[in-house]
Amino acid sequence: MAEIRLRGLVKAYPGQKAPAVERVSLDIPDGEFTVLLGPSGCGKTTLLRMVAGLELPTSGQVVIGDRDVTYLPPRERNLSMVFQSYAVFPHRKVRANIGFGLAMRGMPRDEIERKVAWAADLLQLGDFLDRYPAKLSGGQRQRVAVARAIVVDADVLLMDEPLSNLDALLRLGFRAELKKLVSELGTTTLYVTHDQVEALSLGDRVAVMRDGALQQVASPLEVYDTPTNEFVGGFIGSPPMNFLTGAVVNGHVDLGGPMLPTPPALASFAGRTVRLGVRAEAIGLVEESAPGAVPATVEVFEPLGSAVLLTTTVAGQQLKVQAPATFRVQPGETLWLNVPEQHQRWFDPETAMALETRDT
Ligand SMILES: Nc1ncnc2c1ncn2[C@@H]1O[C@H](COP(=O)(O)OP(=O)(O)O)[C@@H](O)[C@H]1O
Ligand SMILES: [Mg+2]
pLDDT of 360: 39
> Which domains are assigned to the chain?
4-235 (3.40.50.300), 242-354 (2.40.50.140)
CB of 345 closer than 6 angstroms to any ligand 1 atom: no
Nearest residue to 149 (alpha-carbon basis) of 52, 74, 81, 84 = 81
CB of 46 closer than 6 angstroms to any ligand 1 atom: yes
Query: For the chain, what percent of residues have pLDDT higher than 70?
Result: 98
**Residue minimizing CA distance to atom 26 of ligand 1:** 41
pLDDT digits (tens, 9 = 90+) for 139-156: 889 889 999 999 988 999
Interatomic CA distance for residues 12 and 155, integer angstroms: 28
CB of 71 closer than 6 angstroms to any ligand 1 atom: no
Ligand 2 ion: nearby residues, β-carbon < 5 Å: 45
CB of 44 closer than 6 angstroms to any ligand 1 atom: yes
What's the 256 CA to ligand 2 centre distance in angstroms?
42
pLDDT of 208: 98
- Nearest-atom number in ligand 1 for the CA of 38 is 22
pLDDT of 357: 57
pLDDT of 359: 47
CB of 18 closer than 6 angstroms to any ligand 1 atom: no
Question: For a pocket test of ligand 1, which of 11, 21, 46 has the largest count of ligand atoms closer than 8 A to its C-beta?
Answer: 46
Give the max Cα distance, the chain. Answer: 78
What's the 360 CA to ligand 2 centre distance in angstroms?
38
pLDDT of 278: 98
What's the 87 CA to ligand 2 centre distance in angstroms?
15
CB of 24 closer than 6 angstroms to any ligand 1 atom: no
Cβ pair 287, 327 in contact under 8 A: no
**Residue minimizing CA distance to atom 24 of ligand 1:** 41
What's the 119 CA to ligand 1 centre distance in angstroms?
33
CB of 56 closer than 6 angstroms to any ligand 1 atom: no
pLDDT digits (tens, 9 = 90+) for 336-351: 999 999 999 999 999 9
Residues sharing a CB contact under 8 Å with residue 142, sequence separation 6 or more, in sequence order: 82, 86, 162, 163, 165, 166, 174
Nearest residue to 21 (alpha-carbon basis) of 163, 214, 257, 271 = 214
Digits of tens for pLDDT over the chain (360 positions)?
799 999 999 999 999 899 999 999 999 999 999 999 999 999 999 999 999 999 999 999 999 999 999 999 998 999 999 987 768 899 999 999 999 989 988 999 999 999 999 999 988 899 999 999 999 988 889 889 999 999 988 999 999 998 888 888 778 888 988 899 889 899 999 999 999 999 999 999 999 999 999 999 999 999 999 999 999 999 999 999 999 999 999 889 999 999 998 888 787 889 999 999 999 999 999 999 998 899 999 999 999 999 999 999 999 999 999 999 999 999 999 999 999 999 999 999 999 999 975 443
Nearest residue to 61 (alpha-carbon basis) of 21, 19, 2 = 21
Cβ pair 302, 232 in contact under 8 A: no
Question: For a pocket test of ligand 1, which of 13, 40, 208, 214 has the largest count of ligand atoms closer than 8 A to its C-beta?
Answer: 13
pLDDT of 338: 95
